[in-house]
Structure 1
Amino acid sequence: MHAIQSRMKYLRNAETFCAVFLPLLFWNDWRRGDGPVAWDLRIAATALMSYILLQGALYWHLKLRGFTGHRTLPAWFTPLYQGFKYSNVIAMAAVLAWTVHRAATVTSADLWWAGCVLALVAAEQINYFHYQLMYDTRAAFAYLRRNGRLRQAALALDLKRSKAAASG
């Protein structure tokens, strides 16, 4: 039990830390560069990254709260996270469209930054709402070896369960 609580705290805290400090690290690197910076592209992609990482932090916070207090996820969990699931896709498409629109007028470094951050955002979207992409524990690796496929994401399973409970 303690290991599960520790894992949830770690995930919540790591997501929050990354959502706050990665943009600060990126900004520091960008401002020290020699050439011009397409701040709009880089900030849009980075803001989207923080947005999705904070969704993960909130999810793990709610899971931890439910685990320690023996409460279920709140009633607003399903509509909020269904909204996140679709707003993330819309936001990714918008940032990608803006990046393509600006491609001829920005440096390759700007495109590289925006593209890499968008790739991270897409991976997080998959990791939260579809399939678990992080396999960093023995149990996770054992599941992968035993089943030969990716595990469904914890958040995706909770969304399925809450929808099934609401409809049945």
Structure 2
Amino acid sequence: MLSRLRTLAVLELVNIPLFAVVLFGVLGLPPTPANAAGFALFSVLLLEGSAYWWAKAAQVRSRASHPAGLPLFRLLRAANPVLLAAGGVVVAWQLTGGVPWTHTWPGAGLAVFALLEHVNYFHVQLSHQNRADLARLWRTRRLHRSHLARDLARQAGREPLPR
């Protein structure tokens, strides 16, 4: 489990420069306000995800009751919707400007991806990458609270500690 948590943390970080190189280098997307805003939102959410997985790995390693940094994640859970809305305004503003699709739609897609990452980390688990996750989804036929959402609830005393 510890190696899976570390892998998740590293992959979230690696995806930031990888996407930058592919989108802006290989595909040559212009760094317009919409594309830059979408990429910035995407990057911020991936950084938050990586930070959580590192904290979770440290918790597992030390057998602590909670991962470190939960007050910061509580703040991010409240701040992210404001950031996502601000980025959405930038993208929407450029969508109405009559510019080529490459100037806006990639940024819009990245902003949507960032929104989905926020939901995936702070609310319900949308990402199912291994057999255990897929089996649980298939068995229960519903999405489950994310690991971070459960950790935040436990720290607030709204959910019991796992056994």
1:127–1:134 contact (8 Å) kept in structure 2: yes
The aligned counterpart of 1:73 is 67
Name the CA shift for 1:146/1:104 in 2 (closer, same or farther; >3 Å).
closer
- The alignment status of 1:161 with 2:154, answered yes or no, reads yes
CA distance in 1, matches of 2:96, 2:41: 22
The aligned counterpart of 2:10 is 13
The aligned counterpart of 1:90 is 82
Secondary structure at 1:81's aligned position in 2?
helix
After superposing on structure 2, the runs of 4+ consecutive aligned residues of structure 1 that deviate more than 6 Å are none
Shift of 1:38: 5.4
Which residue identity lines up with residue 12 of structure 2 in the other structure?
A: E
Secondary structure at 1:151's aligned position in 2?
coil
C-alpha distance after superposition, 1:11-62 (max 9, x if no partner): 01111111232123222145x36xxx35222111101111110101010001
1:78–1:163 contact (8 Å) kept in structure 2: no
Which residue identity lines up with residue 78 of structure 1 in the other structure?
A: L
2:33–2:94 contact (8 Å) kept in structure 1: no
The counterpart of 2:106, out of the listed 103, 113, 118, is: 113
2:9–2:51 contact (8 Å) kept in structure 1: yes
**Structure 1 residues not aligned, in runs of 5+:** none
Secondary structure at 1:57's aligned position in 2?
helix
The aligned counterpart of 1:136 is 129
Secondary structure at 1:164's aligned position in 2?
coil
The aligned counterpart of 1:101 is 93
Secondary structure at 1:157's aligned position in 2?
helix
TM-score normalised by length of structure 1: 0.85
Q: How many residues align?
A: 156
Shift of 1:98: 1.5
Which 10-residue stretch deviates more, 57-66 or 106-115?
106-115
Percent identity over paired residues: 26
- The alignment status of 1:23 with 2:17, answered yes or no, reads no
CA distance in 2, matches of 1:91, 1:104: 20
Shift of 1:104: 3.0
CA distance in 1, matches of 2:34, 2:24: 12
1:19–1:51 contact (8 Å) kept in structure 2: no
- Structure with greater proportional helix content: 1
